[in-house]
Amino acid sequence: MGEERKAGEQAAEAAARAAEQARELQDAAAALLSRTWAEEEALRRRAAALREDLARLRKAAANAQTEKVHEDLDRASCLISDGDIATILPNKAHGTFLKLLLGPVNLRARKEVQLKVKEEYNSYRDRTAIVFLGFPMILLFLRSWLWNGCFPALPVQLYQAWLLLLYTTLALRENILRVNGSDIRPWWVCHHYCAMLMALVSLTWGIKGQPDCARKQRGVELFLCWAVMQGFAMMLQNRYQRQRLYTRIALGKAKRMDVVWGETAGVEGQLLLLCPILFLLQVFEGYVGFLLLRTAHKGIIPEWQVVVCGILLIAMAIGNFANTVDTLMVKSRFKAKMKKSKSKRDLAACTSPTRSSLTNSAAGA
């Protein structure tokens, strides 16, 4: 009994010491957070005042002919909007999509968290590109080898459900990346909204079987062929993007949060392969949309889902084509401007005049 009483007293003393240490840690943590909050608030006020001063200076220097003035203003604005100070500035407007899914929270993260989000986004695109390419290829192979030329409804609908998940997660991740300074064009996020709607509508599309299922499922076959081309383009684009990212960061011409949009020396051969594939994919996307509308018009598949999917495919094809051409033109003008700039390395390392991304063309196609 004496030993048990002694062990109990020792356990009580150890528990009391642990409780006292926990209270001390709590007080130290509270003091640290209070001190940190006060310092952040002071920095926040200084940054807000400087941002207002920069806006006034930019208006005053609108007609200035000295490139040095504009470069200094661009560099200062970049440090405020995309540097570490941006993480403690007041929350930016996120848009309806992020507010609907996450609520009105501040999504600006510390630099180390931002880079992890960007790396995970790249890894996710690499993984999903393989599925995007492999899934429809397997369906097309099984159609001729096992299913006697007729798709069962369940495998196709599983792929459509996966597409809905894919485009929803891509839109969510890209909105978060844009809040944290990544250079993703708004069109590609908008494209994913359209693709989400198309995937949702296609899930309600009844896939007809026998008799004459080959004619009734022509739209499904064309859509899966487009998905194979899309998956191939995504894999090529992801490889191109990684090489461009490493090269531009090494040259000091890009931030690690950037989505690479340029096409400078060293990978012109890849670009010559990537651009025709993108344009071919966009033309085929519009062609599939046209065929869906034609099948609905002729009464072969008269459901409203066919009409909606056809319209969305054509709209996305036109938007992708226009934005790809615009990106190439903007990039050409930007390269010409950078050649004339005396401090192009400092300016390019901070910011570029557009937030465009050729490589997102494939992800959004």
In the predicted structure, residue 264 carries a pLDDT above the cut 80: no
- Reported as a single tens digit per residue, the pLDDT across 30-46 is 888 888 778 877 887 88
Burial zone of 80 (CB within 10 Å; 0-12 exposed, 13-18 middle, 19+ buried): middle
Buried-exposed string 148-169: b where 16+ CB fall within 10 A, e elsewhere: eebbeeebbbebbeebbebbbe
Which run of H or E residues covers position 129? helix 111-145
What average pLDDT does the chain have?
76
CA nearest to 362, candidates 331, 322, 320: 320
- How confident is residue 316, by pLDDT bands cut at 50, 70 and 90? very high
Residue 265 has pLDDT above 60, yes or no: no
Per the listing, tokens 């079987």 go with 209
Taking residues 108-130, what's their average pLDDT? 81
CB 329 within 8 A of CB 302: no
Q: Using the Cα atoms of residue 202, residue 205, residue 211 and residue 215 in order, give the sign of their dihedral.
A: negative
**With a threshold of 0.95, does the pTM exceed it?**
no
> What tokens appear for 17 in the block?
């010491």
Listed by start position, the domains of the chain span: 12-88, 111-337
* Contact call for residues 341 and 350 (beta carbons, < 8 A): no
pLDDT at 197 over 90: yes
**Which DSSP category does 273 fall into?**
H
Q: Which residue has the tokens 């651009």?
A: 275
Question: Among candidates 195, 165, 121, 188, which has minimal Cα distance to 362?
Answer: 188
Averaging pLDDT over each range in 23-37, 162-176, 181-195, which range is the top one? 162-176
* Angle (nearest 5°) at CA 21 between 18 and 22: 85
* Contact in structure between 143 and 150 (CB atoms under 8 Å): yes
Looking at residue 250, its pLDDT comes to 52
Is the Cβ–Cβ distance between 213 and 149 less than 8 Å?
yes
pLDDT at 362: 46
If you search the block for the tokens 């130290």, which residue do you land on? 28
Confidence (pLDDT) at 319: 92
Stretch (H or E) spanning 233: helix 218-250
pLDDT of residue 161: 92
At residue 256, the pLDDT reads 52
193 has pLDDT over 90: yes
What percent of the chain stands above pLDDT 70?
72
pLDDT at position 348 over 80: no
